[in-house]
Structure 1
Amino acid sequence: MLSARISNESGNESAELADEIERQLLRSLRQQNTQSRNETIVLKATSQDGRLLGGITASTSYGWLLVKILWVDETARGLGLGSDLLNAAETEGRRLGCHGAWLDTSNPEAYAYYLKRGYDTFGTLENGATEHPADHCRWFMKKAL
């Protein structure tokens, strides 16, 4: 039997380790399964003076674009920047051969936003009234590209 030590990483090391674990998983999957492109997409929006106003991170796998993070600074919300970032990521996903996009959110405002953008709910995780945090919901959504 293999003897292994399990430890908890924190700080910058944890982010680097998470990236390495994902790289190793994707390498293993490529050896075992028919793959499409596995690409990372990172897009940003900046002001004239270079201040970060928003960004989106996504990845591709098995013909799907996974939208991981879409963030817009509070000062730039409601101006269409989020839609511009999402459109750009979806366009890049199509260029890389994706036929669909998926994401998850637990923010009711974001959920409504994604519904307006053509995403449909395909699953939920819901907490009950006695579970912490009470009545929390996470929606899983997808869209054909």
Structure 2
Amino acid sequence: MRHKLLDVVFEKNPSSSVIRKLIQGISEDACEKEGMPPIEPFAFLIRDDERNLIAGVAGAQFFGSLYIDQLWVDKTERTEGLGSDLMKRCEEFAREKNCSFITLNTMDFQALSFYQKLGFFVEFQSRGYTHGSICFYLRKNL
């Protein structure tokens, strides 16, 4: 069924419901075409005693892999092992879900060596970002 294009709207910060709808559509299409299981977003969060978010990781489990979209630790909590703990949880979760590998990306000025210490390797890189930055696409086989 074709619909007349009514409007194209730019949303700088789309709501979580919009993002969920997009993921749901991709997931349903993959299920119909290839029998793929649904895409399952996830997050592991760490809060302090006052319930303030101090660290977290989020991504999605899909098509036999785990994709990590964001890993963040508050500046005041870095070097406490929180990032490593969160990544360990992700790996355990990936194994529980029978994922074959974990993927993520990081810029050259971010956390490349951190991920490499955790067993990730550079699968490929992309150049041309602002200030000559490089984006590294990393993978860890399970």
- TM-score after normalising by structure 1: 0.87
Q: CA-atom RMSD, angstroms?
A: 1.9
Q: Which residue of 1 aligns with 2:87?
A: 86
Q: Secondary structure at the match of 2:44?
A: strand
Take 1:109 and 1:10, find their aligned partners in 2: how far apart are those partners? 27
Unaligned runs of 5+ in 2: none
Deviation at 1:6, TM superposition (A): 3.9
Q: Which residue of 2 aligns with 1:26?
A: 27
Identity %: 21
Q: Secondary structure at the match of 1:50?
A: coil
1:115 and 2:116 matched: yes
Assess if the C-alpha contact under 8 Å between 1:59 and 1:67 holds in 2.
yes
- Read off the aligned partner of 2:104 and give its amino acid letter: L
Q: CA offsets, 1:40-89, max 9 Å, x none?
A: 21110011221211001021112110011000000100110000011101
| CA distance 1:71–1:13, change in 2 (3 Å) | closer
- Read off the aligned partner of 1:141 and give its amino acid letter: L
Q: Secondary structure at the match of 1:108?
A: coil
Take 2:25 and 2:39, find their aligned partners in 1: how far apart are those partners? 12
Unaligned runs of 5+ in 1: none
Assess if the C-alpha contact under 8 Å between 2:57 and 2:86 holds in 1.
yes
- Read off the aligned partner of 1:38 and give its amino acid letter: I
Aligned length: 141
